[in-house]
Homo-oligomer: A and B are copies of this chain.
Amino acid sequence: MILPKNNRLTEVEVAELTVIVAEFGCRIQPIVGDVRTIYAIVGDERHELMISRLEGLAFVDRVDTIQSPHKLMDIKSDLARHRVKVGGVTLGDELLVMAGLCTIDPKNPNYFYETAHAVKEAGAHALRGGVWKPRTNPYAFQGDNRSLDILMEGSRRTGLPVDTEVMDEEQLRLALGAGVQILQIGARNALNYSLLRQVGKAIAGRETAVLLKRGMHLGTLSEFISAAEYIVNFGNPNVILCPRGTQPGLDGYRNHPDESITPLLKERTWAPVVVDPSHSVGKATYVPACALAAVAYGADGLCIEAHISPSHGLGDDPKQAITPKVLAELITRAKALHALRRSPKPSAPVS
């Protein structure tokens, strides 16, 4: 849909439009209104270059496209029948809980092992544990390859799949080699298309899942879903979208919580949504409320930082991680709310 700057275009201007769209197999159809004429693009309008050229014309105000750019991720794609499974949970059926450390301490592996057992006990279906960490400060602890062994040992001891962030090809290779079941793409790499492609290629033909965090900026939802399309495009559709708060943060939180985008994502894509309340709010005391809100908005799961002894943690754990005890209560409430949302005729609460 081409909206001209003036009420209608001259014949020469229309001819110019026609030539451009014809290159991409489309044609122009004027829609004559009482006051103004607009110009529909008939054909497949998903040519980025065609739109760019049309928008470059001096007499064009803007071009609105209505077709989804997501061939595979779109809610109407054939893939919409696909169900992502993690740790025995089919996303969409049951609420998935992933929990664990922000950063594994290679010198104190027992914190991870004990946390792993405790979060499993609390009801978690998958473990998270940071091996390599993106740090604003280049002089802060950036992670350690030895933590990968600790991560996998935690998986073996508990029988739970593990999630860890990878930031480059080398880490991707190591993580897959070690058997990591869920690869995490962090917010800082949310639009790192080279990495997205590498991950997509590497997991093709495997059962590996990808937890794709949303970027920190208030971008469009289409941009977020397109990032997932980069991965799925190589054949493995086990992708999970993960809102984690945007910048600028609210006055008091680390980020601006964005679990509210869940219903908007679900209108556009079939991909499950697992919210990270820990980064959204950035302080342990606020995490349970944010987690419940995510379930209220229809999230399929939660990814939460927990630690058996937060003050002994690394990275964000001392401020963000909740204890397994708090996690257990949170999971009970979250599951109750998950059930409450789905009950066709909710009964009055027993007070």
Contact = CB atoms under 8 A, between A and B. Distances in A.
Contact of A138 (B64, B189, B233, B292): B233
A260 B263 contact: no
A320 to B, nearest CB: 8
A217 B48 CA distance: 23
Contacts of A138: 193, 226, 229-230, 233
A210 B236 CA distance: 36
Nearest to A43: B34
Copies of this protein chain in the complex:
4
Nearest to A260: B257
Given A66-B3, A247-B217, A56 B134 contact: no
Interface in A208-263: 215-223, 226, 229-230, 233, 246-248, 250-253, 256-263
Contact of A252 (B57, B194, B221): B221
A178 interface: no
A319 B56 contact: yes
Interface in A119-162: 134-142
A34 B44 contact: yes
A340 interface: yes
B40 A293 contact: no
A206 interface: no
B349 A336 contact: yes
A335 interface: yes
A351 interface: yes
Interface stretch (A83-91, A109-117, A278-286): A278-286
Interface of A: 1, 3, 20, 29, 31-36, 38, 40-44, 46, 48-49, 52-53, 55-58, 64, 66-67, 69, 71, 134-142, 167-169, 171, 188-189, 191-195, 198, 215-223, 226, 229-230, 233, 246-248, 250-253, 256-264, 267, 280-281, 283-286, 289-290, 292-293, 295-298, 310-311, 314-320, 329, 332-333, 335-341, 345-351
23 contacts: A20-B311, A33-B43, A46-B139, A49-B314, A52-B319, A56-B310, A69-B137, A138-B193, A168-B194, A216-B217, A219-B247, A221-B252, A222-B251, A251-B261, A256-B260, A260-B280, A263-B289, A289-B296, A293-B297, A329-B346, A335-B348, A335-B349, A339-B349
Given A31-B40, A340-B340, 16 more contacts: A29-B31, A52-B316, A52-B317, A53-B319, A56-B320, A58-B285, A138-B193, A168-B195, A192-B195, A218-B247, A220-B251, A256-B256, A256-B260, A293-B297, A296-B337, A333-B341
